[in-house]
Structure 1
């Protein structure tokens, strides 16, 4: 049994992740007891791990002493999103510059729709804008 747990294979890492995943339900803050129950951990273990996670910044305590996700986790998540944002940015710019035409819907209101043609296959995904060899790839007209 790992780490003194009554469950075989339950490591400190899995316990820490269970604490973090307790917030997956959307609750902004939890008491220590609620957190222990959600993570299926003894209260003493939860207390010890929460103290370490608070010290690192993964968790924080609100003014009422309840536990919430910490700023450091948010910053970590932002770093992961930055790579996606940097990759998507040229495509979004191309889409925002693509020609648009107005058409009238059945209700008589004018709506805006973009028109573009798409290329697929390996030749459509050459150069720095390629998405790691994932096909089919759609490129905006200005990238062809």
Structure 2
């Protein structure tokens, strides 16, 4: 497996570099892909779910990319594959914002992807993700 879940150290550091994501039509998740030819590791420090319209369940998977997979094909990933590992599962209550990674963070090595999947599609749901990369 090329994705790792680690525990954060206590820190008062405030990170300001966030990306906002919205759900795509007919797809209930977001992939953070570190391409195989990358010379970097990706670190996902926070995943904040913002104001869902209904109660939902979030699953976070780590998966290795197969030889023929690229960033463009990740929407069709088979989450039953042997190269997929469920790292986190949590129920999200409607109309609330929550940081899923309060005490943890993820490291994504080249050739891997972090899949953030919602059981129920919610077009108004959005995520705020703090991630950065470090050169190997």
TM value normalised by structure 2: 0.20
Which structure has the higher relative contact order (CA within 8 Å, separation 6+)?
2
- Which one has a larger percent helix, Structure 1 or Structure 2? 1
- Which one has a larger percent strand, Structure 1 or Structure 2? 2
